[in-house]
Structure 1
Amino acid sequence: MVSMSEPSTPALSAGPVYAHRAASARTALSVFFLSGLLMCFPGAILPSWGYHISEDFLTIGAYFLALGAGLVASVRVAAILLQKKDIRFVVVFACALASASLFYLAAVSPPVDWPWRAAGIFLVGLAAGMLNRSAFQSLTLVWERDAASTINLAGIAFGLGSLLMALFLSSTFYVYTGRSSLILAALLPGFAAGIFARRHFAAPVPHHDSTPAEMWRDFRSPAAILFSLLLFFQCGNEWTVAGWLTVFAVHRAGVAPDDALQMLALFWAALLIGRAGTQALLKSVGHGKLLVSSAALAMLGCLFLMGTDNSGGAWVGVLLVGVGSALIYPLVVEKIGHRFPGYHPGFFNGIFSLAVAGGLLAPVTVAIGSHFLGVWVVMALPLAGTILVFLLTLAIWLEARLTGGKRA
């Protein structure tokens, strides 16, 4: 994966209605925190399940495939529930599902066969996706005022949850068994369900998911294709690093499993600090310049990780990748919103949503590559993806200049 940004505060505090919306926005951002906990879980739990000493990379890929399937399924499940119930019901239901999923995973921890755990991770992805969609829909009015800041703040909350999960599993690695750690982790979404049941969420602004005809129209737009490719590669880059970093650090850099989890925590901390620290820059520095600079920094970090065989190089590389990746996704989403006003991250947006879903398959691709070629593929794919992100950023800028559209 938090308070509202400064530009939104005056508008949100102009009366009782806006005060209610501000409280609702803060609650929605706390939902992203919980989603961050869940999305960090598959990559962080791998050492506790023994995959730091195993080369069963295809099974790891199956876990990430199950996670992605759960996220994709959540789009339809959340849409059906939100037609019949309010956002609070969906959030509470997702929290309860997340808690039950973690308890279930504790029960099927090794030596139970891996397909049982894959089923549990599918449910974790389903719960996380429902939380994301509900939170984004509750933030619709804020999103329409300032897309980049809204996505950035949501990313800060999400990153804080992911950081907490990585630190928790790192600190308990030699203290508790993986099963005990999961039982403790399952308590938090259970408590959150009780808290959110008493909170208020803003009613979502009416919106519709993209139809097949609208999606086909997007396929005929060069700008839509370029933005979708950018989303695809950036999502793939971030989730490959987040999912595989612990396994890569142990196998490639030779670090201890708890240190590998601390590296994962550093990655999320770098994302968090990068997004928080650059929040002020969003109004004073050109967003195109920030996007290009971020892509270049992430590329440098991937090069460090790709070439390292020691813990020192790995720590530096993780820091650079985290800071460099911090602003890419928020800025890309903002630019999509400017060029395509109907875009909203809380709904199915045709080609753009397909690109995000496709990016979630990158960790699965890494599993296949690592099985046949070795664990170095874990950073080779994000490196290639970051280079393409950099090139696509330039292509989008050029396309905007040539067509006379808004500058990318």
Structure 2
Amino acid sequence: MATLLLIAIYLAFISLGLPDSLLGSAWPVMQPEFEQSLETAGYIFMAIASGTIVSSLASGWLYRRLGTGNVTFASVILTAAALLGYSYSSSLVWLILFAVPLGLGAGAIDSVLNNYVALHYKAHHMSWLHCFWGVGASTGPIIMSHYITGQGSWRAGYFTISILQFSLAFVLLLVLPLWSKVSKISESKAEASYHIEPAEPISGKTRPLSIKGVKFALVSFFFYCGAESTVGLWGSSFLVQSKGISAAGAAQWISLYYAGITIGRLITGFITLKISSKMLIRTGQIIALMGAVILILPLPAFISLPGLILAGLGLAPIFPCMIHETPIRFGKHHSQSIIGFQMAAAYTGTTFLPPLLGILASHTSIGIFPFLAAVYMMAMLFTSEKINKIIKIRVEQNIAG
């Protein structure tokens, strides 16, 4: 039963990733059809992310009342219905309206499953969980590119992803009883059980946001998701307008960017058995920054394009490792609340940072894309290192005391 449940969790993260990369891949075709400016995609993205922020903050409340299984199933249904609505949307107003349930479903499932795996499974399972998100995120542009190339229709792409989402929801419905059964299994018999202790004792009465390092963690998540989503949303437009690549070709390259994240997380799952999460986070941030620098350099397309893949590979270990470190850094008692806050911060970055680039690009050019992506990555690296310093001081004080 525990194995079947883990498979269901992986499937749920595939469904979480499927819609995430669709808008960026389809926008070069959607933009002229709806007669909208370049930055309009940023506003739609803001609407999606706003829903994720609300449901992330409410994840603790939803978990206590519905349980992880019910929240997961309902979230997939919500996103499937929203994607179906997208495929029939006739105006920008409908795109924005359907963006809200799409975001609500994504935020809820993201928070509850991340906390569940952080508490009950080892680090390699967390990396593989987000690897399956990458499977969904990299599959989305492939499907969209197929329909754009073959039929010139982005609507068919959204419709197909919606059907896939409904199919995954049916699978989750079948395994719904497993959540309550597996929860009754003794932790001593579960593969995932392991001892979690923060670097220092943290009282259950302590407010999560008052714990040292939590605020830097929120800022780090803010810039991580800002960087990841900025590349995913605007990378295709950058390739089309600055590098002269076709819309279908650009969608395929964005798919490779997400594939880099996916493959990187698959590999990270094995590396975590030998290397600490802290080292993986730091190394990934440096590699992602190198990818952005390659895109900045005035190189031919065939040389600069691999910078997207390098950025994806670098970003791969950061998010799952930071999530898995949460109960270790800040204590098991506060993990659900803090992970909910982190998800909200992450999606706040998704809400504001990609649209910021769109606004700036509309007044300058899309050529600023790699520069701003590099700035986001440097900010993420800085705040992450601040957390490491705080945790190091805490451990030293704990040993001295």
In 2 relative to 1, CA 246–351 (structure 1 residues): closer, same or farther, beyond 3 Å? same
C-alpha distance in structure 2 between counterparts of 1:95 and 1:389, whole Å: 30
Picking from 89, 97, 100, the partner of 1:122 is: 100
Deviation at 1:297, TM superposition (A): 1.0
The superposition leaves residues 211-252 of structure 1 with CA deviations (integer Å, 9 ceiling, x where unpaired) of 99825524xx2x223322222211211111112211111112
- Which residue number corresponds to residue 387 of structure 2? 396
In 2 relative to 1, CA 372–147 (structure 1 residues): closer, same or farther, beyond 3 Å? farther
Aligned to 2:19, the other structure's residue is in SS state helix
Deviation at 1:48, TM superposition (A): 3.3
* Paired residues of 2:51 and 2:103 also in contact (CA < 8 A): yes
C-alpha distance in structure 1 between counterparts of 2:277 and 2:74, whole Å: 38
Letter in 1 for 2:370: M
1:214 aligns with 2:207: yes
**Map of 1:5-404 to 2, 5 A cutoff?**
20-50=1-31, 56-75=37-56, 82-108=63-89, 112-136=90-114, 140=116, 142-176=117-151, 177-200=153-176, 201-203=178-180, 214-218=207-211, 221=212, 223-308=213-298, 310-342=300-332, 347=337, 349=339, 351-360=341-350, 361-404=352-395
Deviation at 1:173, TM superposition (A): 1.2
C-alpha distance in structure 2 between counterparts of 1:403 and 1:73, whole Å: 32
Deviation at 1:155, TM superposition (A): 0.7
* Paired residues of 1:339 and 1:406 also in contact (CA < 8 A): no
The higher-RCO structure (CA 8 Å, 6+ apart) is: 2
Deviation at 1:354, TM superposition (A): 4.1
Runs of 4+ residues deviating >6 angstroms: 52-55
Deviation at 1:306, TM superposition (A): 2.0
In 2 relative to 1, CA 61–87 (structure 1 residues): closer, same or farther, beyond 3 Å? same
The superposition leaves residues 255-309 of structure 1 with CA deviations (integer Å, 9 ceiling, x where unpaired) of 1111111111111111111111232211222433332222111111001112346
C-alpha distance in structure 2 between counterparts of 1:376 and 1:318, whole Å: 15
C-alpha distance in structure 1 between counterparts of 2:281 and 2:15, whole Å: 27
Deviation at 1:60, TM superposition (A): 1.2
* Paired residues of 2:208 and 2:214 also in contact (CA < 8 A): no
Letter in 2 for 1:119: L
C-alpha distance in structure 2 between counterparts of 1:355 and 1:60, whole Å: 21
Aligned to 1:394, the other structure's residue is in SS state helix
Structure 1: runs of 5 or more not aligned: 1-19
- Which residue number corresponds to residue 187 of structure 2? none
Letter in 2 for 1:155: H
Letter in 1 for 2:232: A
C-alpha distance in structure 2 between counterparts of 1:86 and 1:227, whole Å: 26
More moved, 128-137 vs 27-36:
128-137
Name the TM-score, length of structure 2 as normaliser. Answer: 0.83
Aligned to 1:38, the other structure's residue is in SS state coil
Letter in 1 for 2:7: R
C-alpha distance in structure 2 between counterparts of 1:214 and 1:114, whole Å: 41
CA RMSD between the two structures: 3.0
C-alpha distance in structure 1 between counterparts of 2:68 and 2:119, whole Å: 19
C-alpha distance in structure 1 between counterparts of 2:63 and 2:391, whole Å: 36
* Paired residues of 1:226 and 1:392 also in contact (CA < 8 A): yes
In 2 relative to 1, CA 350–157 (structure 1 residues): closer, same or farther, beyond 3 Å? closer
Letter in 1 for 2:360: G
Name the TM-score, length of structure 1 as normaliser. Answer: 0.82
C-alpha distance in structure 1 between counterparts of 2:337 and 2:65, whole Å: 16
Aligned to 2:20, the other structure's residue is in SS state helix
In 2 relative to 1, CA 404–353 (structure 1 residues): closer, same or farther, beyond 3 Å? same
C-alpha distance in structure 2 between counterparts of 1:170 and 1:49, whole Å: 13
Structure 2: runs of 5 or more not aligned: 185-203
- Which residue number corresponds to residue 191 of structure 2? none
The superposition leaves residues 156-206 of structure 1 with CA deviations (integer Å, 9 ceiling, x where unpaired) of 110001111111111221212122232222211122222221113424979
